[in-house]
Structure 1
């Protein structure tokens, strides 16, 4: 590619936010280019996140189907097994197809130029962090300093930083000296260990813990706080702890991690599978948890280092998250930022919405923003976890009271009929207006059920609006309606089809 080409929009990154941005830019007949490095085009979701993990969750679920069959009438002559290497081969093929069809072909369709390599923003004096002179002025320039297109420089009227995030490891003594898996590197391992210790209790830890358990790995999950999914409604974490322990996954909460160590293998060579020991304190009692390997699932950190942010006047916080206003504009008026690099919620759909809004604001002065209170969060375990809006604790802290109702899935007709009764639905309504402000659920199809709840929170629907809406019978979605009915009646004394 030639150097110094001029574009309307230049983008650092090649994930969801970037592709939502070029889609909106194309609609406006804007010229675009992106500089991508690290993960292949498509970013975390398609390469090492949503697509591979959900595929492997389905593989593992089918592998565990015989063990979890609740019906006496169904008999298996032979237990199913999962060939992990074959599962990863299938995952790789799926990812490759997604990447080509949903990203590479899309970029070509929108006539977006893609530069491969490590990009850096250029300062207002026309100098990049590498020291090379570039043009000055109101436009923003990105210099490719490493990779296939090293030396290329692209300039845009506006720029979008959408560099995503990477797995983060906490500062635990000895952890830097131990080889461990992350949600990215586990996808490269064809020969799984017999047992694994997972640090963390968020959605990555739970999803991967269940995948690995169901393909035959002994799993122990260590969570620092008092319950898993600590950022969600407390009932959800407690319900998932019970479900995991019933399945045979050991979960230990309330850890105060002291040290991580690994013994040396023969000849002093250490590998991920040479063993690991996590020294911790639980309720004041010292414990040592051992396994063949370690998996760190303690969160992510923004990919904001080394891309020239300071040189162009883009500020970050102490954790590296880029400061943006409600319209995704950074402290440099010509540069916007979107996706994981600006912080929570680190979700593909949110990144895409932020990327779209950045273009609308940068080129259309539309001043659009996102109501993050109406963004649903989902954990694709079995049972699934889904939530949107305010928790009981948050509403109580703000208003001094809370009006909440919880229905157990074992009381929902569809759940009883198919013998899939793990879970619950909790509805939080405003104590004065009856508007639904939060819905939190564990159970079958929770990821699909949360859509109706999201609309309720987003548009201020009341519990009466949900009760007055006819729901098909028997469905799991009736659990939401039943939780709303619980504000008006004793649902334990109610026929299946009322109101």
Structure 2
């Protein structure tokens, strides 16, 4: 039986963008309801993204402690091992706790009505639950927000859809891992999961289409990560022109049983077949924009399926806004939250707030970590025909040398006339934490001299950023370890 309830704001989705929106709506005393479609409440980050992957990265790092130990004075009586099933059980408990404390309890605190099931826009700002626990419910708002997120995407490679494969979501359900995995893709998901699986004892081969991993980031970062991975024992094969994916079948009697997978590829004109026990597809995400009634209410999408919005997150239907992964890059939890917050401010306060995406940092939580913000060297050269850039190797940073953790580098890109910092790109220990100083520099137009004149604690990895700035002013090979 259909019943309709009226609210100020109705939301299709239940992840980061949705919860940032309900927080801002509550501050404005707006009545709000959401239809949680797809993943459990909390969306990608808490359920199958940031929380589980970062927990498992830490588990895997501890498991690899003996083999990664750089100190002769430290000895392990035996190699540590990782119980993968136990690790996933712990992950499930962590996710459940996060989901309850950070989402369910928050929704109750703000007195948000949550409808569970598959929702569709059926009439302007009306959402109907067409399947699931609350099937038949209809909610109507003065304004609506679409925040349905994204899902793993598999490229159109011949035979791929006929092969069983893992994604960053389904791997969390696999308690019994194979001995070897082929990782299709070379972005942050592929690298993070590739390192997790390698460090828990799986033979991992990364297959990347472009000529380097992390192809969307500064070139030095991808090359440094490939070197670090190969040094760790993870094979990285770049420059693939994928031709076909097929199963390696074992005799199963009446029907064949998949016992492995083969990727047929061409590299520099040479044909090659790479085999493994299983395949992990980590080639990006696609927006969850199909089947939710966008056409019915006049919302246009881009060729890649993302919802078309203006800089204020308003769709082509003026009463409906959209935020998060469903509107496209960058697909980051914190960006989705900021977009959801701004959408409500614009919808109900006409505040005209937007986001400077050039100042949004990106992080890859591998070991070493990767972090970047702002303009790359190549982008700057394309725009200005010149580049003023300096790079410092972590091997020259006192803290890195002291703790024998010297993988990585820091590159600074500055404006060739004003000396303002326009981009910072780094690989190394604590890069995920170090990038915030660089983000502030890019956001507020700080110059290299502003960073040089700021006292940094010694010895810290953060001195690498300062040292890269000093490289614009002096020969940094002729400095004492206490960088003045």
Which of the five TM-score ranges fits, normalised by the shorter chain?
A: over 0.9
Corresponding residue of 2:323: 338
Alignment partners' CA distance in 2, 1:5 and 1:117: 16
257-266 or 294-303, which deviates more: 257-266
**1:152 aligns to 2:137 (yes or no):** yes
State how far apart, in whole Å, the 2-side matches of 1:278 and 1:489 are.
Answer: 50
Work out whether residues 9 and 32 of structure 1, in 8 Å CA contact, stay in contact via their aligned partners in 2. yes
- What is the distance in 1 between the residues matched to 2:209 and 2:298? 36
Deviations 1:48-107 (A, max 9, x none): 000000000000000000001000000110110000000000000000000000000000
Correspondent of 2:218 among 233, 242, 245:
233
DSSP-derived class of the 2:101 partner: helix
Corresponding residue SS for 2:442: helix
Q: Across the two proteins, how many residue pairs are aligned to each other?
A: 483
- Residue 319 of structure 1 deviates from its aligned partner by 1.3
User: 1:113: which partner in 2?
Assistant: 113
Instruction: Quote the residue 2:307 is aligned against.
Output: 322
> What is the CA-CA distance between 1:270 and the residue it aligns to?
5.8
CA deviations on 1:361-419 (whole Å, 9 max, x unpaired) are 00000000000000000000000000000000000000000000000000000000000
Q: CA deviation at 1:317?
A: 1.0
Deviations, residues 138-164 of structure 1 (Å, cap 9, x unaligned): xx1001100000000000000000000
TM-score by length of 2: 0.99
Task: Check the 8 A contact 2:413/2:424 in 1, yes or no.
Answer: yes
Q: Measure the CA separation in 2 of the matches of 1:232 and 1:3.
A: 49
Instruction: Kindly state the Cα deviation for residue 263 of structure 1 after the two structures are TM-superposed.
Output: 2.4
2:85 aligns with 85
Q: Pick from 427, 449, 460 the counterpart of residue 412 of structure 2.
A: 427
Counterpart Cα distance in 1 of 2:359 and 2:68: 34
Q: Determine if contact 2:370/2:428 at 8 Å carries over to the other structure.
A: yes
Report the alpha carbon displacement of residue 269 of structure 1 after superposing the two structures with TM.
5.0
Residue of structure 1 in register with 2:196 after alignment:
211
**2 CA distance for matches of 1:481 and 1:122?**
55
The 1:9–1:68 alpha-carbon spacing in structure 2 relative to 1, beyond 3 Å, is same
Counterpart position of 2:17: 17
C-alpha contact (below 8 Å) 2:467/2:483 kept by paired residues: no
State TM-score, norm by structure 1: 0.96
2:44 match: 44
Are 1:179 and 2:164 counterparts? yes
Contact 1:263 1:270 in 2 (8 A): no
Q: d(CA) in 1 for partners of 2:471 and 2:224?
A: 20
- What is the aligned partner in structure 1 of residue 353 from structure 2? 368
What is the rounded CA distance, in whole Å, between the counterparts of 1:32 and 1:320 in structure 2?
A: 27
Is the CA contact 2:152–2:282 (under 8 Å) kept in the aligned structure 1? Answer: yes
Query: Corresponding residue for 1:267?
Result: 253
Structure 2 residue matching 1:120: 3-state secondary structure: strand
| Residues 285-364 of structure 1 aligned to structure 2 (within 5 Å) | 285-364=270-349
Give per-residue Cα distances to partners, 1:451-471, cap 9 Å, x unaligned: 000000000000000000000
Q: Please, what is the CA RMSD of the aligned residues?
A: 1.0
* In 2, Cα distance between equivalents of 1:267 and 1:314: 52
Unpaired runs of 5+ in structure 1?
A: 125-139
Distance in 1 separating the partners of 2:172 and 2:60: 14
| Alignment partner, residue 128 of structure 1 | none
Displacement after TM superposition at 1:268 (Å): 5.7
